[in-house]
Structure 1
C-alpha cells in the first residue's frame, strides 16, 4: 500500500485491453477504465509478454464481473497516477493505493480491499539489528518515491539517509549490489521478493507499526471526486466478493495470510 505525495509529472500511458464480465455483453454495457502501475509484484505486475498479473488485477477482474461491467486496464507511472485519474485518463485506480487524508483532498475512495503493514529488509549478513531510527542510524535506506513508505521513512526515521527510487525494481537492484543498507516497503511485497533468486540476498528485519496519518486506512480504489455512484458500486462489489468466497480464493492464490486485515 502506498502514496500520500503526488508529482505532477506527465506519465506515458499505455493501454492494456482486458475485457471482463459476461461473454455475451452487448455494445451498450458500461465501460470502466482502471489505472494501475504494472510494476509492484505480487500486487500488480506486467509480464515480459505484456500481460498484467497480480492480486490487484485479479481483484479488479472480480469486481468488474460482480458489477457486470466491461473494464479496461490502463498502465500509468506511479508518480502520475493521481493527476491522470483527475484528468480523466481512467475512471478508477486499483494499484495498492493507500487511503490517506492527503489523498482524500484530491480524490474519493472506496472502502479498503486490503491492509498490510510496512517492513524493512536488509542483507542476510547485515549488522543492523532492529528496524528503528536508532538501529538504522547513519544507514542508507531505499524506498519507492511518492509512497507512504518513503513518507514514513522520512518522517519517522530522521537519522537515516533515505534514498528514493521510481519503482521497487531499482531499490532491489541497489540492495543486491550493496549500494543501500536496507529497504522499506509493504511486508507482503518484500516477503514475496525474498522468495525469488534475487531476493535470496536478504531477510525481513522487522515490521513497522503503521502511523494512521501516514500509512492510511488500507488500500482502496481511488475515484474522481463526486462520482458517488461508481464508488458505491465498488463498495458493494467488494462486500459481495468478500461474502461469496471469491476474495478468499484470490487471496489464497497469492498469500498464506489474509491480507484484508482488521
Structure 2
C-alpha cells in the first residue's frame, strides 16, 4: 500500500483531536437531573464528542458512533432507560453538563485535578497512553536504546515533551507539524520510530500489520464519565455499571472493537 499524506490524514481520523473548535455558549444554568428523575423521564441525555475517532464520530448514517457511544448505550440499557446522545465539543462539554443540557458526559474527558473542581468523575472507563512506536526489527526497548536512532513527534505535543525529556545523547528528534506528518514519516522510512497515542498506534497496526511495534510507554491518562456535582446516587449507579462491564468483559469488547486492543490494565484496575 502506498501511503500518501491524504491516506495518512484519513488514517489518523482515528487518533487526532479536533482543535480550534469554537466554544458554543451554554444557556442559563439548570438544575442537574437526579437518578430518580432520569428513570422517571425514561431517558438519559449523554453528551459525547463526535470529532475524536475512534472514541466519538459521526457514522455513515449521520449518527453519533464510536467507543463512547457504545459505552453510553450500555449505560442506558443498564439503567433501563432510552438514550439521547447529544453531540458536544471539547470546549462546551463541561458547560453542557453544568447547565443541565446533558445528564452525564461520556466524552473522552481526561480526569484531571483542575476538571475535578468543576465536575465529579466516575472511575475510569477508558484511557489514552503515549508510547514510542517503531520498526519491529530495531531494538528501542528503553530510552537509552534510542541513541543513534531518529524519532518523529508532532511539534509541541505531549509526546514531544516526553521524548525530549528522556532522549539520550545521540538520539535525533525530528519534529513535524502534526501527527499525520509524523506517521507519514514513519511509514515512508524517514524516521525509525515515533511518539504516538494508543489510538494512533492502533490505526497504524491495522494498516501496516506487524511492520512496527510498541517499544515502551511514556505516559498515561485515564478518562471518566462526568456527572454534575452533588448527584451522588447517579455517580454511584455509574460506578456500579462500570464495575459490572469491566468484570463481565463488555467494556473490553468495546475496546477491542474500536481500538483493536484489550482494555489497558491501567484502566481495568483503576478505582
Indicate the TM-score class for this superposition, using the shorter chain for normalisation: 0.5 to 0.7
Q: What does the per-residue CA deviation read over 1:69-98, in whole Å, with 9 as the maximum and x for residues that have no partner?
A: 222112222244334433433222213322
Whole-Å separation in 1 of the counterparts to 2:214 and 2:249: 33
Q: 1:174 to 1:109 in 2, by over 3 A?
A: same
Match of 1:97 among 109, 130, 141: 109
RMSD: 4.4
1:261 and 2:268 are equivalent in the alignment:
yes
Match of 2:118 among 94, 103, 106: 106
Structure-1-length-normalised TM-score: 0.64
Partner of 1:33: 45
Partner of 2:98: 86
Structure-2-length-normalised TM-score: 0.62
Counterparts of 1:224-235 in structure 2, within 5 Å, are 224-235=228-239
* Structure 2 unpaired stretches of 5+: 1-14, 27-38, 168-172
* Structure 1 unpaired stretches of 5+: 14-26, 166-170
Q: 1:110 to 1:162 in 2, by over 3 A?
A: farther
How much does 1:219 deviate? 1.9
How much does 1:194 deviate? 0.8
Partner of 2:197: 186
Q: Tell which deviates more after alignment, 64-73 or 251-260.
A: 251-260
Greater per-residue helix proportion: 2
Partner of 1:20: none
Partner of 1:157: 164
Counterparts of 1:1-262 in structure 2, within 5 Å, are 9-11=22-24, 28-115=40-127, 117-121=129-133, 135=146, 141-142=153-154, 150-151=157-158, 153-154=160-161, 157=164, 171-172=179-180, 175-176=183-184, 184-187=195-198, 189-197=199-207, 203-204=212-213, 206-210=215-219, 215-216=220-221, 218-254=222-258, 255-259=260-264, 260-262=267-269
Whole-Å separation in 2 of the counterparts to 1:253 and 1:8: 28
Q: Is the 8 A contact 2:68 2:106 kept in 1?
A: yes
Partner of 1:18: none
Q: What does the per-residue CA deviation read over 1:18-42, in whole Å, with 9 as the maximum and x for residues that have no partner?
A: xxxxxxxxx9534322222223333
SS in 1 for 2:106: strand
How much does 1:64 deviate? 1.1
How much does 1:238 deviate? 1.3
Q: Is the 8 A contact 1:38 1:52 kept in 2?
A: yes
Q: What does the per-residue CA deviation read over 1:29-71, in whole Å, with 9 as the maximum and x for residues that have no partner?
A: 3432222222333333222432333222212111110011222
Whole-Å separation in 1 of the counterparts to 2:142 and 2:51: 25
Q: 1:88 to 1:205 in 2, by over 3 A?
A: same
